[in-house]
Chain A
């Protein structure tokens, strides 16, 4: 083949116009592929909006000050609110946070700052990932047999404390993982600088490294709390339920998720409506927590 032959005219050598031609095969194909991808992307958020709208329609009309401050009515009666369940969810989540945050942050600090990359830290990290995947109902059964069935706290069986501990087991993996990963993002130079002015390891961690990783840790903690606040399964047989105001940390306590579970299947109109209203309040609280997490991570970046 010689290079001197003039190019023959075929589709390959033909010079097309540079203008965009939507009728071209590749362009048509591209548009179809684009549309399909966009459709699936939209499908991913459709459930969220459907849930929000449905819960808002069903539960939003009951929203009033009464709903947030009153006790649920006795079966067969009208009116009432979910004040005890809101308070109970706050109490139980607070107990869970008080356990999971110190343990989780401490564990994350150990994994990132103290542990050599040996078998122990690998084992802890792997175990943590497995714990994150343990179904929440298993956590509930575990705490039930450990605390509730043994009546370990003042001979009380079901209690707010047991519910909080069950939720803390669920929160723990999130807190450990975000702490660990947040600390890994802190540049090594920052630690070197602190050591270079004579800081001990403890001072370096508490005053330089942890504050530098505050944003990812706080974001992870808030997301962990949001996850725990919505859990039902571990609370059903640990915190149980109570139609009254909380009577202390070692007594059964009402929570929103269990209230929804109980009231939604009751044969009373008033209870069903309260379940919808509680769903709405819970969704809003969790949405708020997620927005707070986003705000924390964006506020410190700017």
Chain B
């Protein structure tokens, strides 16, 4: 397996997962995932807890490297490269594939510095004030922040902090933004604002989002992947797998698998 072979990947595909199996130690968390994530679209990962959807999302920018004992088999193709090739630098991967986390995690710095940090370490040489304003505007949090750029990121409310984190991710000009349940710690109004932000963002970025909220998947996602977990013989715990990956409309209205129908109609999980 070399990095130069993935010629099969179509041009409108942003990332392609080919037979991806992710394990924590000897325990396989998610198995045999094949997926072509389209460029310029919002893709939602849904499924019950423990089905491996967050694990798959973190695999897309090698965030799993930070978890001891986590390993991946198979290939994740992005921009003609297998991200898990030995020659690939995970730091460079994360510069091009940004991430927003479940809990808002601003740095213990000022709002301005929160945004400027990523750009600065990525070697941004332009007008920093302008970049900070543009990023905050794109994340729809400029109005709340513009008068207190010098204050700590923690002085914002939870929803504002999360949008600050989105602005922070945007500021490094990534191609892809991964969001791991970005609204699970937020109230419905903040959630709505973040979703509006995502609609704006998908014009310039490819977005992948893990969500437990199926209405949210319907509202924001073009494509939806449904993951499930099943107990395997002789194994300890459940192993996650991709059940179905299709346009959101099809997943919610006419899924091809019975377990998808059970899940989206609330009869399960």
**Chain A interface (Cβ < 8 Å from any Cβ of B):** 116-117, 187, 189-200, 203, 207-208, 211-212
Contact = CB atoms under 8 A, between A and B. Distances in A.
B105 A192 contact: yes
Contact of B63 (A187, A192, A212): A192
A192 B100 CA distance: 10
A117 B67 CA distance: 12
Interface in B67-90: 68
Nearest to B177: A196
Contacts, number: 72
Given A194-B107, A194-B117, A198-B122, 8 more contacts: A190-B108, A195-B66, A196-B98, A196-B100, A196-B169, A197-B118, A198-B96, A200-B121
Interface of B: 61, 63, 66, 68, 91-92, 94-96, 98-101, 103, 105-109, 117-118, 121-122, 165, 168-169, 171-172
A192 B165 contact: no
9 contacts: A190-B107, A193-B107, A195-B63, A197-B117, A197-B121, A197-B168, A208-B107, A211-B109, A212-B107
A196 B63 contact: yes
Given A198-B92, A208-B107, A191 B66 contact: yes
A190 B91 CA distance: 16
Most chain A CB inside 10 Å of its own CB: which residue of B61, B91, B106: B91
Contact of A196 (B101, B103, B108): B101
Contacts of B109: 211
B107 A196 contact: no
A191 B63 CA distance: 11
B179 to A, nearest CB: 11
Most chain A CB inside 10 Å of its own CB: which residue of B68, B98, B117: B117
A195 B95 CA distance: 9
Contact of A197 (B66, B103, B169): B169
Given A191-B66, A193-B165, A207-B117, A198 B107 contact: no
A196 B68 contact: no
Contact of A199 (B61, B91, B96): B91
B121 A212 contact: no
